[in-house]
């Protein structure tokens, strides 16, 4: 069916909330539809799916879901788009209450059969999962995709390292949207652009008056860049806003999510920030029915991001197939069918190019194997002689500008041959593998290291080195040394590695020249390394343009201890590969 104006009806209106704030809502259904259907609700920070928006893009998820039997309800969350209200926190308690009131409105509509599902990517996925907190009787199932279970550790401050690449760009983008400035135009074109912008965002019947009033009410509300710059510790960002509203991190609302549990279909990627770590944390922590799918995609699964395929390779499954799979999940739940297993994971293994399934994690048959830093830059399967290596931190070191930390800005992932990148890092490389090796799970790095500074980013990359010298990125992990203290307090959720609070009270600077043990997880993965290829571990103190430079100025010099006395190593969950 062609995506034409005749194929669908898209109507929009304002729906008032309990405090009088009016939210802009678009309703998409087949042209001339007069029956009843379940609703698919989407809550967005980036502009709801209007008729103009649907017709302007090559592939519309909203239209695809409509064709799968849903009435699609798309909402500008308060303080964004054409909705009124001010936004003093992101995804606050007041916004989450709005989701429940929108559900109330949906079930009262003549086209509603009284049942609701919800999905979305990124912020939209976070929202559909947060909607479980309301425990609304009409909500049947959710499909959160590429979401941030722990916003601090899985995106903004992985290992406590400030992710300035994402945070500052997202702050600028959302501030621009909140001002209604969606286009860069010349003065002569400004009037036409303004009309176009209003037509694409305003509710039906609005000549622009209400849209302009909503934008004015948003005011200069954002300030995210300034707020991010003030955060070092987890508790720096947890304060309520001036109006008493408080942001909600999903990991902190775990008990409420479980109390409102509905079957959930989570999507994530081994190569998209910490989304895979987040779904695995849910798998171990949340007592609720869930199906998990982890692929090798960019953010949103619009690109095959595997470093073993060309950068422009289309995703598998493709986007229409993804929608059909999610719709099938919803229809089965709407029909009252239970999940085949209460919890299950379907995951893609890089290097082998295959999908596999499990109901336990890590999968059965894997064992941990330690790989030790050794003399002459070797990575060995047993501790070598005691010794020390030096590394002068290169603050221009970079993982590129199209990586797992930038893809959440709508970019592809492109980890090409890392030979040049590794040349400025401290590397340890194994002998060629005698047989193919599978690594599936979460690697753990332990560094015995001394620095001449009191703080710094300590980053570990895991890579494969082919016989021709090509270096293929596999995963990474890091720790800001200030956060190295291990906490005795109960963990917020189940996760691998030492329990760290990242709280101000637990700050532990390095003592210059004194060795410290830094133990931290790398991000999870599933990969097969071919026989004859080698493993490589690379150490970095910077990822230029991605993480904030620490220290802000001056040099940093490390001494890495290795051998039987002070062991530095990586622990890999692995097993011989048998196809």
Catalytic one of 272, 304, 455, 506: 272
Q: Of 408, 338, 360, 427, give the one whose Cα is nearest residue 145.
A: 408
* DSSP helix/strand/coil, 254: helix
Q: Tell me the H-state helices in 150-251.
A: 151, 164-178, 190-201, 209-218, 224-229
Q: Which residue has the tokens 């980013």?
A: 457
Catalytic one of 136, 154, 218, 299: 299
Element holding 277 (H helix, E strand): helix 275-285
488 is catalytic: no
Whether 440 and 363 have beta carbons less than 8 Å apart is answered as yes
**Cα 344–chain centre separation:** 20
Q: How many residues does the chain have?
A: 579
Q: Which residues contact 309 (CB under 8 A, 6 or more apart)?
A: none
388 is catalytic: no
Q: Tell me the H-state helices in 404-562.
A: 419-422
83 is catalytic: no
Whether 393 and 449 have beta carbons less than 8 Å apart is answered as no
- Residues paired with 25 in a beta bridge: 13, 75
Cα 186 from Cα 208, distance rounded (Å) = 21
* CA R_g for the chain: 25
Cα 397 from Cα 409, distance rounded (Å) = 21
* DSSP helix/strand/coil, 524: coil
Enzyme catalytic residues = 122, 272, 299
């Amino acid at each position: 069916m062609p995506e034409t104006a005749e194929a669908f009806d898209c109507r929009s209106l304002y729906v008032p909330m309990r405090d009088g704030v009016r939210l802009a809502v678009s309703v998409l259904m087949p042209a001339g539809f007069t029956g009843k259907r379940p609703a698919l609700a989407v809550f967005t920070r980036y502009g709801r799916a209007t008729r103009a928006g649907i017709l302007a893009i090559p592939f519309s998820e909203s239209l695809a879901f409509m064709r799968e039997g849903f009435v699609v309800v798309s909402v500008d969350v308060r303080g964004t788009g054409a909705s009124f209200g001010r936004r003093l926190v992101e995804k606050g308690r007041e916004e989450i209450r709005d989701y429940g009131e929108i559900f109330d409105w949906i079930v009262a509509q003549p086209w509603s059969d009284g049942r609701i599902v919800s999905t979305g990517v990124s912020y939209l996925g976070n929202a559909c999962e947060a909607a479980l907190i309301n425990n609304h009787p009409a909500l049947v199932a959710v499909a959160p995709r590429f979401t941030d279970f722990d916003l601090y550790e899985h995106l903004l401050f992985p290992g406590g390292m400030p992710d300035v690449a994402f945070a500052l760009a997202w702050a600028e983008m959302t501030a621009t949207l909140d001002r209604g400035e969606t286009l860069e135009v010349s003065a002569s074109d400004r009037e036409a652009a303004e009309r176009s912008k209003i037509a694409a965002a305003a509710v039906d019947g609005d000549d622009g008056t209400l849209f302009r009033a909503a934008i004015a009410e948003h005011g200069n509300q954002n300030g995210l860049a300034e707020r991010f710059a003030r955060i070092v510790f987890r508790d720096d960002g947890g304060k309520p806003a001036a109006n008493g509203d408080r942001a909600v991190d999903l990991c902190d609302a775990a008990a409420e999510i479980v109390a409102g549990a509905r079957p959930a279909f989570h999507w994530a990627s081994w190569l998209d920030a910490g989304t895979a770590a987040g779904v695995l944390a849910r798998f171990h922590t949340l007592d609720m029915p869930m199906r998990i799918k982890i692929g090798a995609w960019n953010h949103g699964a619009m690109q095959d991001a595997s470093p073993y395929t060309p950068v422009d390779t289309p995703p598998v499954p493709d986007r229409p197939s993804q929608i059909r799979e999610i719709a099938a999940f919803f229809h089965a739940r709407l029909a009252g069918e239970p999940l085949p297993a209460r919890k299950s994971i379907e995951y893609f293994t890089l290097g082998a190019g295959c999908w596999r399934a499990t109901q336990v994690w890590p999968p059965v048959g894997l064992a941990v194997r330690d790989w030790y830093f050794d003399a002459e830059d070797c990575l060995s399967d047993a501790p070598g002689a005691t010794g020390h290596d030096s590394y002068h931190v290169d603050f221009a070191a970079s993982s590129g500008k199209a990586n797992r930390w930038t893809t959440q800005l709508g970019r592809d992932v492109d980890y090409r041959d890392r030979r040049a990148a590794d040349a400025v890092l401290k590397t340890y490389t194994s002998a060629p593998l005698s047989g193919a090796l599978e690594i599936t799970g979460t690697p753990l790095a332990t560094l015995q290291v001394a620095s001449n500074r009191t703080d710094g980013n300590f980053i570990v990359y895991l890579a494969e080195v082919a016989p021709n010298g090509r270096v293929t990125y596999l995963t990474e992990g890091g720790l800001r040394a200030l956060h190295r203290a291990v906490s005795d307090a109960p963990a917020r959720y189940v996760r691998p590695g030492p329990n760290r609070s990242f709280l101000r009270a637990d700050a532990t600077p390095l003592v210059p020249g004194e060795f410290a043990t830094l133990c931290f997880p790398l991000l999870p993965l599933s990969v097969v390394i071919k026989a004859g290829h080698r493993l490589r571990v690379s150490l970095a103190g910077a990822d230029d343009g991605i993480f904030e430079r620490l220290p802000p100025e001056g040099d940093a010099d490390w001494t890495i201890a290795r051998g039987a006395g002070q062991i530095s190593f990586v622990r890999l969950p692995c097993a011989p590969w048998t196809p």
